[in-house]
Amino acid sequence: MGRPPCCDKEGIKKGPWTPEEDIILVSYIQEHGPGNWRSVPINTGLMRCSKSCRLRWTNYLRPGIKRGNFTAHEEGMIVHLQSLLGNRWAAIASYLPQRTDNDIKNYWNTHLKKKLAVANSTNSISSANNRHPIFATGSSNNQPEITQMAAIARRSPFADCPSSSYASSMDNISKLLDGFMKTTSPSPPPPPLQHYDVGYDDVKPAVENPLMSFDCMSGTGGGEMDCFDVYHHHQHQPASSFMDQYGGYGGYGEESKQMMNHQAPPLSSIEKWLFDEAAAEQVADLMDLSDGCCSVPMMF
DNA sequence: AACAGGTACAACCGCGAGAGG
DNA sequence: TCCTCTCGCGGTTGTACCTGT
């Protein structure tokens, strides 16, 4: 007997989500937290399948998501990471905590693939890529490295930190509710959202870890120490001390820290490469073209 | 103004992995 | 060890919007 289809039941609604549905979903998650998606449609009365609820939350409603145009910096990172990891969008997204894997995937398919095709035809990108051995050898010839990097990506603090992500989420929800209130009036006020003092246009990164966030590579932040300084400052320190100092790990517990201590080098090869001169050079070039909006005020 | 083609992105589908019984 | 359930991921589709003719 095969697996029963998830969403082919009678009465399961498909298609775009309405603001009302969003409100219901957000309210429920605000109260119960994300997870246990099976129970979400049951408890909320939403005529959606659990998968649809999860997708809506993770790709649209989840707090800390940055919407709008990708910066040149983000583009560069996606291109780098895609070259290394292939179409492992979730792994790539873990390095861009403000972007969803769906966003990155869409952006890759609609923009970057085309751009790269054009660039490759003029050899402009390929020459840059070939500066680095990883590009020169091709991802398929570095399977162990890729595997390691994928594992690292999964272990990254951004990979899965529901608690911290959820805890900082209310700006998105506030946005949603705000937008909803603007477009539907009069209507009963939504449940009060607490713990959110962030303005509508002031989306904070879901995770504030300066090393793991490539946003810091922009170097345009107003901090006392730019990201490369941070990197150089910490690259010889054990991962644990760095993570402890900068409050990494998101929702990871002590056990995870220990795991990191045992399994992860202070700086993985992918991270080294991404901070490497070639990448830095390329990204720095892109930085010059950036509008600066990718620079996120960091905690240092 | 109307239409066609292109683009962007939200959402869906199917599969695999992992957890738990 | 096997089976079922649940979740997450990557590929794909549908559709609203944009742009050019």
Domain boundaries, chain A: 19-61, 72-119
- CB < 7 A to strand B: residues 106-165, chain A: 106-107, 109-111
Residue at shortest CA–C1' distance from B7: A110
Cα torsion A96, A98, A102, A105 to 10°: value is -40
pLDDT of residue A190: 38
Secondary structure of residue A267 in the 3-state scheme: coil
pLDDT of residue A162: 35
pLDDT of residue A197: 34
Shortest CA–C1' contact from A60: which nucleotide?
Answer: B10
pLDDT of residue A36: 81
- Measured distance CA(A122)–CA(A13) in Å, rounded: 47
Instruction: Measure, in angstroms, how far nucleotide B11 C1' is from residue A155 CA.
Output: 28
Q: Which nucleotides of C are covered by protein (CB under 7 A)?
A: 4-12, 15
Contact A174, A200 (CB under 8 A): yes
Contact A271, A230 (CB under 8 A): no
Comparing CA positions, the residue from A262, A260, A220 lying closest to residue A242 is: A260
Shortest CA–C1' contact from A106: which nucleotide?
Answer: B9
Question: Could you state, in chain order, the average pLDDT of each consecutive group of 10 residues for chain A (300 residues)?
Answer: 46 84 87 82 86 87 80 84 84 84 86 74 49 36 43 40 37 52 42 34 35 37 33 36 33 35 42 47 42 35
A72-119 shares the fold of A19-61: yes
Residues 6+ apart with CB under 8 A from A296: A205, A213, A215, A216, A221
What does pLDDT average to over chain A?
Answer: 56
pLDDT of residue A123: 55
Shortest CA–C1' contact from A53: which nucleotide?
Answer: B11
Q: Which nucleotides of B are covered by protein (CB under 7 A)?
A: 7-15
A7 CB-to-strand B distance under 7 Å:
yes
pLDDT of residue A271: 52
Instruction: Measure, in angstroms, how far nucleotide B4 C1' is from residue A95 CA.
Output: 40
Cβ within 7 Å of nucleic strand C, residues: A 1, 3, 15, 35-38, 50-51, 54-55, 58, 87-91, 101-102, 105-106, 109, 159-160
Burial class (CB in 10 A: 0-12, 13-18, 19+), A9: exposed
Would you state the CATH architecture of domain A19-61? Orthogonal Bundle (1.10)
Cis before A186? omega within 30 = yes
* CATH fold of A72-119: Arc Repressor Mutant, subunit A (1.10.10)
pLDDT of residue A1: 38
Instruction: Measure, in angstroms, how far nucleotide C10 C1' is from residue A186 CA.
Output: 42
Instruction: Measure, in angstroms, how far nucleotide B8 C1' is from residue A104 CA.
Output: 12
